[in-house]
Amino acid sequence: MPDMTSPRDLLFAPPGENPPVLLVGAGPGDPDLLTMAAVKALMRAEVVLYDALVGPEILALAPRDAERVCVGKRSGNHSMAQAAINGLLLAKARTGRRVVRLKGGDPLLFGRGGEEMQHLQAHGVAVKVIPGVTAALGCAASAGVPLTHRGLASGVTLHTAHGRDGGLPLGSADLAEHTQVVYMGRDRIGAVAAAMMARGLPPDTPALVIENGTLPQERRCLGTLADIAERAAAELSDGPALIMVGRTVGLMPVLVREMADSGI
């Protein structure tokens, strides 16, 4: 017979068994972008281990008596080492309580969720993943930038600004064919722009930095690879930022104006 397990059943453990640890995506910041599964998981949580960028409105969805532990992960400022987070997750899971590991964006994209999942599974702890809206999708929607567009970008490539060796892992594909999105690049905008130009992108390639994407305090800085670092330094503050580069970024002013004219 086919497996008739409902997705909601993944939040519960059979009688007599410890519940699985839930790796939950908190999305890019706006609480309205949480999935229903994420909300249900938080509402039943007894322990929540959360990243520093997860906002209070999202944390408030957990019961008042739930234990909340900030593990402090954000770009360039980790108050708790990954090994310590892994150990803490395991310790909380072994108490038999419902543990939610709440991660910004999606748990398995640049969040080291795979490492946490492997650590728990290696010690016999079941893990379920509830995906979240990643920042590239949330920020693109908020700014009106299509990540793909016929004739301009046949795909989208997601990068981290912090490779294991400290470099910029931009890969080997033709950067011009895809919209490029760089996570955790707040302090490396100039280096990202320089690396992309060295890889062959023209200096006049449109570039956008979105700070505090999807939140009420969202700010955007639009420029080109040649001047985006200088513009961002002058126009933005120190909030978490996403970098978007490519010909589709040049459509943003047109789309935003059309939306305004139509009353959206």
DSSP string covering 229-248: HHHHHHH--SS-EEEEESGG
Report, as an integer, the average pLDDT of 62-89: 86
- The average confidence (pLDDT) of the chain is 88
Mark which of 93, 112, 130 sits at the end of a domain. 130
pLDDT at 41 over 70: yes
Reply yes or no on whether the pLDDT at 78 is more than 80: no
With 90 as the cut, is the pLDDT of residue 11 above it? no
Q: What is the mean pLDDT of residues 59-82?
A: 84
Residue 10 — φ and ψ, nearest 5°? -65, -15
| Angle subtended by helix axes 82-93 and 113-122, to nearest 10 | 50
Question: Are residues 124 and 73 part of one domain?
Answer: yes
**Is the predicted pLDDT of residue 81 greater than 80, yes or no?**
yes
- Given a cut of 70, whether residue 155 has pLDDT beyond it is yes
* From 51, 92, 103, 106, the catalytic residue: 51
Q: Which domain holds residue 168?
A: 135-258
Q: State whether 85 and 18 are in the same domain.
A: yes
Whether 73 is catalytic: yes
The DSSP symbol for 251 reads G
Average pLDDT over residues 190-218: 94
User: Rounded to an integer, what distance in angstroms lies between the CA atom of residue 175 and that of residue 154?
Assistant: 11
Report whether pLDDT(196) > 80. Answer: yes
- What mean pLDDT do residues 129-140 have? 97
**Alpha helix stretches (DSSP H) within 21-178:** 36-43, 56-59, 82-93, 113-122, 135-143
Q: What is the pLDDT of residue 258?
A: 52
Q: What is the pTM of this model?
A: 0.86
Q: Spell out where the chain has E strands.
A: 21-25, 47-50, 67-70, 99-103, 127-130, 155-160, 178-183, 206-211, 219-224, 241-245
Active site residue 51: yes
Q: 73, 92, 103, 106: which is the annotated catalytic residue?
A: 73
Nearest to 31 by CA among 132, 109, 145: 132
User: Which of 130, 155, 189 represents a domain boundary (last residue)?
Assistant: 130
- Is residue 100 included in any domain, yes or no? yes
